[in-house]
């Protein structure tokens, strides 16, 4: 085996790597490779990723639960027969929607596409959604609403480097994707790095070196803060009025929606001093092209998006960007820092409840007709939009909900909100099937487990946070009886609807995906497998094989019918589960440098697990003193959903009104036992980021 050029398995930065074979079976060594997103860098998650290939509890054989309740080894044929028989009988008894499929934003484009097609064509169920609903769905909804197109970054990441100012709202890239920090260099040198976060994260800490600004807002108030920033821009005549008149549909809407958010009022809501708000607005505006600046960006992350008002918070950020005339200008713009490895591609190919491939709406008759033609079925045969992730989970095993669930690339028992309810719903199912690489918390509950390939064991494509399509390549043979998720879809399709077969060959699936995407928003039709194989990494839309792709969107027009961006008036509202006398602190959840998503992979890597072995709660020293909390000793957190005991870390990096807990841990360390599943009315994103919590010292335990 020779060296193989591929990309990191984890986040959406998709750092380029070269894998080298080593003596041990199934193992590789990784070296960083130069690429525009990572510029030769890797974070420690990427450096240690090969360890996951050979972890001692790797799933290598299909498992089925026996009469005694134990998961025991079986064959692929027996497992597929069993699952197909159960699906057939459940659908005959309860209808097609009795079976649901749940996907993931880490699946390759081919798996995401096949999963959506399998649900709509083989199972003919409307119940399909994925964990991207928990990730960047609010940013996607806001971008679609304002621009008519959602591509996380509608520009290459490297464009950030020349900007004079960057406003990061709820994004901690210094921990989640450290190589991306290199792209903040221009703004940092110019003193224009502006970070909105209730914690002094590693990213917020970068503002202290120069003249940057950390806006340490009260959890749940980012929307009010951004409205106030926009208010200052408009009141101080810093807006790009010509741009607003030419490129937006309702410039006056901006004035109407921000008139009531003068900085002193925003200070009372957000806790950020009015003078700091004014300063940040002026720094951002000075970098805008309309004032002759080097360029300015507004970027959002999960901190802005994982709220019951996440779509409106991102909309406020887009409105601020429009006020300054940023979107569509080279060297400026608005973008979302997508988190999951294929968070971008994962939302384009039809595994989302309301979408078909090409990022088309499943409610659009033209889209239904086109995709049905590619799939060889009647448009009338395609189900309509289904339940979103939380609504789907909450319906499992209920009178009119699904009786069976197939999970691919997702660990719901760590990553979904209000876990007691998730456990109850999964237990109510007649059949739970999980495809995974390790026995995750969710796989351990399943009736059938399929052992599937991971990054270095499979061919495929991924799409980075910039909308750049990349090749993932095989470097090692998978162990034991491991097969691709594509084999699960193909095997079940063969048993349930053999007239429409599924390919297990990733290149064949990709070629079909290209055709299905043609003419859609995310048009991959010109990005052939051969072009990717030859080393190209192309931005969609790319409508023909002689097209060079589209690194920058919106230069002349937005994706709306009239080409103008939509200004949507939004307003601040309280968090769904706000503070009470009994629960007087905000619980905020988030991510650590050492772990990725539900931690199913990174908690199995020795170096990462040793560095951050267990969950903890960050508590401000003043609160610790008031409540008798001692650093390192246990505290109890209690919310309306449940309680947990965990060690305290006393630190002034959090606000006195805030408790921070990382979400990467399972079992008794799962903070999603406490989080709220109140949904954003548009994106259906749950409010992971904030709820009221009672904190007590638990030293007597």
Residues in touch with ligand SF4 (CB under 6 A): 8, 10-11, 13-15, 38, 42-43, 45-46, 177-179
Q: How far apart are CA 45 and CA 254, in angstroms?
A: 42
Rounded to a whole number of angstroms, the minimum distance from the CB of residue 42 to ligand SF4 is 4
**131 vs 258, which CB is nearer to ligand SF4?**
131
Rounded to a whole number of angstroms, the minimum distance from the CB of residue 43 to ligand SF4 is 3
Rounded to a whole number of angstroms, the minimum distance from the CB of residue 596 to ligand SF4 is 6
Six-digit token string for 677:
């599943």
Rounded to a whole number of angstroms, the minimum distance from the CB of residue 180 to ligand SF4 is 7
Rounded to a whole number of angstroms, the minimum distance from the CB of residue 32 to ligand SF4 is 8
**30 vs 615, which CB is nearer to ligand SF4?**
30
Any long-range contacts for 508-512 (C-beta under 8 Å, 24+ apart)?
Answer: 509/110, 509/113, 509/114, 510/109, 510/110, 510/460, 510/461, 512/113, 512/374
CA 623 to chain centre: 32
**17 vs 683, which CB is nearer to ligand SF4?**
17
By the 10 Å C-beta count (0-12 exposed, 13-18 middle, 19+ buried), 242 is classed as exposed
SS3 for 124-176 is CCCCEEEHHHHCCHHHHHHHHHHHCCCCCCCCCHHHHHHCCEEEEECCCHHHH
**135 vs 353, which CB is nearer to ligand SF4?**
135
Rounded to a whole number of angstroms, the minimum distance from the CB of residue 98 to ligand SF4 is 38
**9 vs 62, which CB is nearer to ligand SF4?**
9
**17 vs 421, which CB is nearer to ligand SF4?**
17
Rounded to a whole number of angstroms, the minimum distance from the CB of residue 599 to ligand SF4 is 13
**14 vs 306, which CB is nearer to ligand SF4?**
14
Q: How far apart are CA 687 and CA 191, in angstroms?
A: 33
Q: Which of 84, 130, 117 is nearest to 381 (CA)?
A: 117
**33 vs 495, which CB is nearer to ligand SF4?**
33
- The DSSP code for 249 is S
Rounded to a whole number of angstroms, the minimum distance from the CB of residue 448 to ligand SF4 is 30
Beta bridge partners of 645: 636
Contact 236, 604 (CB under 8 A): no
Rounded to a whole number of angstroms, the minimum distance from the CB of residue 27 to ligand SF4 is 18
Strands 431-436 and 404-408, bridge-based pairing: parallel
Tell me if residue 29 falls in helix, strand or coil. strand
Tell me if residue 207 falls in helix, strand or coil. helix
**11 vs 227, which CB is nearer to ligand SF4?**
11
Rounded to a whole number of angstroms, the minimum distance from the CB of residue 121 to ligand SF4 is 33
**198 vs 467, which CB is nearer to ligand SF4?**
467
Q: How far apart are CA 163 and CA 36, in angstroms?
A: 16
Contact 458, 475 (CB under 8 A): no
Q: How far apart are CA 109 and CA 206, in angstroms?
A: 35
The span from the first CA to the last CA of the chain, in angstroms, equals: 55
CA 460 to chain centre: 20
**49 vs 412, which CB is nearer to ligand SF4?**
49
Whether residue 649 is preceded by a cis peptide bond, meaning omega within 30 degrees of 0, is no
**337 vs 617, which CB is nearer to ligand SF4?**
337
Contact 231, 211 (CB under 8 A): no
Rounded to a whole number of angstroms, the minimum distance from the CB of residue 464 to ligand SF4 is 9
Q: How far apart are CA 212 and CA 192, in angstroms?
A: 5
Output the residue with the shortest Cβ distance to ligand SF4: 46
Q: How far apart are CA 382 and CA 16, in angstroms?
A: 38
Rounded to a whole number of angstroms, the minimum distance from the CB of residue 636 to ligand SF4 is 33
């Amino acid at each position: 085996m020779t060296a193989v050029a591929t990309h990191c398995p984890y986040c959406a930065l998709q750092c380029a790597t070269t894998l080298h074979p080593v003596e041990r079976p199934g193992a590789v060594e990784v070296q960083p490779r130069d690429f525009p997103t990572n510029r030769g860098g890797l974070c420690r998650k990427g450096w240690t990723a090969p360890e996951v290939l050979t972890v001692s509890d790797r799933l290598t054989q299909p498992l089925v639960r026996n009469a005694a309740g134990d998961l025991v080894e079986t064959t692929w044929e027996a497992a597929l027969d069993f699952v197909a028989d159960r699906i057939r009988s459940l659908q005959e008894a309860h209808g097609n929607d009795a079976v649901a499929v749940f996907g993931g934003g880490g699946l390759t484009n081919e798996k995401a596409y096949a999963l959506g097609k399998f649900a709509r064509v083989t199972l003919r169920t409307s119940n399909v959604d994925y964990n991207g609903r928990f990730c960047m769905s609010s940013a996607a909804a806001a971008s679609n609403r304002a621009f008519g197109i959602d591509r996380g970054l509608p520009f290459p990441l490297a464009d950030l480097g020349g900007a004079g100012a960057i406003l990061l709202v709820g994004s901690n890239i210094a921990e989640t994707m450290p190589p991306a920090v290199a792209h903040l260099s221009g703004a940092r040198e110019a003193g224009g790095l502006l970070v909105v976060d209730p914690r002094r994260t590693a990213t917020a800490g970068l503002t202290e070196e120069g003249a940057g600004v950390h806006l340490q807002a009260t959890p749940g108030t980012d929307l009010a803060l951004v409205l106030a920033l926009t208010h200052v821009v408009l009141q101080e005549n810093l807006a790009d009025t010509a741009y607003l008149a030419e490129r937006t549909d309702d410039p006056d809407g901006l004035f109407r929606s921000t008139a009531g958010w003068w900085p002193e009022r925003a200070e009372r809501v957000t806790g950020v001093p009015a003078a700091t708000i004014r300063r940040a607005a002026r720094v951002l505006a000075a970098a805008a092209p309309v004032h002759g600046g080097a360029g300015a960006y507004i970027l959002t992350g999960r901190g802005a998006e994982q709220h019951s008002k996440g779509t409106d918070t991102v909309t406020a950020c887009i409105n601020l960007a429009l006020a300054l005339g940023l979107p569509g200008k080279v060297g400026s713009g608005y973008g979302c820092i997508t988190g999951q490895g294929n968070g971008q591609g994962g939302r384009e190919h039809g595994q989302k409840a309301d979408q078909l491939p090409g990022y088309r709406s499943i409610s659009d008759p033209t889209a239904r007709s086109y995709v049905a033609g590619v799939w060889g079925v009647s448009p009338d045969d395609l189900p309509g939009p289904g339940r979103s992730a939380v609504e789907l989970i909450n319906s499992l095993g209920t009178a009119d909900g699904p009786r069976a669930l197939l999970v691919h690339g997702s660990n719901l028992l760590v990553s979904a909100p209000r876990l007691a309810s998730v456990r109850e719903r999964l237990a109510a199912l007649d059949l739970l099937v999980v495809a995974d690489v390790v026995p995750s918390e969710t796989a351990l509950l399943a009736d059938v487990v399929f052992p599937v390939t991971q990054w270095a064991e499979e061919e495929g494509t991924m799409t980075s946070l910039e909308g750049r399509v990349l090749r993932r390549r095989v470097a090692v043979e998978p162990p034991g009886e491991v097969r691709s998720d594509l084999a699960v879809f193909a095997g079940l399709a063969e048993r349930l609807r053999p007239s429409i077969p599924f390919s297990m060959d990733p290149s064949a699936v990709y070629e079909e995906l290209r055709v299905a995407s043609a003419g859609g928003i995310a048009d991959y039709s010109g990005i052939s497998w051969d072009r990717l194989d030859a080393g190209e990494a192309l931005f969609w839309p790319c409508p023909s094989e002689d097209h060079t792709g589209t690194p920058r969107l919106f230069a002349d027009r937005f994706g709306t019918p009239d080409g103008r961006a939509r200004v949507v008036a939004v307003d601040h509202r309280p968090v769904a589960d706000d503070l009470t006398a009994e629960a007087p602190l905000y619980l905020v959840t988030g991510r650590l440098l050492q772990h990725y998503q539900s931690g199913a992979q990174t908690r199995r890597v020795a170096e990462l697990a040793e560095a951050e072995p267990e969950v903890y709660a960050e508590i401000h020293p003043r609160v610790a003193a008031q409540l008798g909390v001692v650093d390192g000793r246990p505290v109890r957190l209690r919310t309306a959903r449940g309680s947990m005991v965990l060690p305290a870390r006393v630190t002034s990096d959090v606000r006195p009104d805030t408790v921070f807990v990382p979400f990467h841990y399972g079992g008794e360390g799962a903070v999603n036992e406490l989080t709220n599943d109140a949904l954003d009315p548009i994106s259906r994103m749950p409010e992971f980021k904030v709820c009221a919590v009672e904190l007590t010292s638990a030293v007597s335990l």
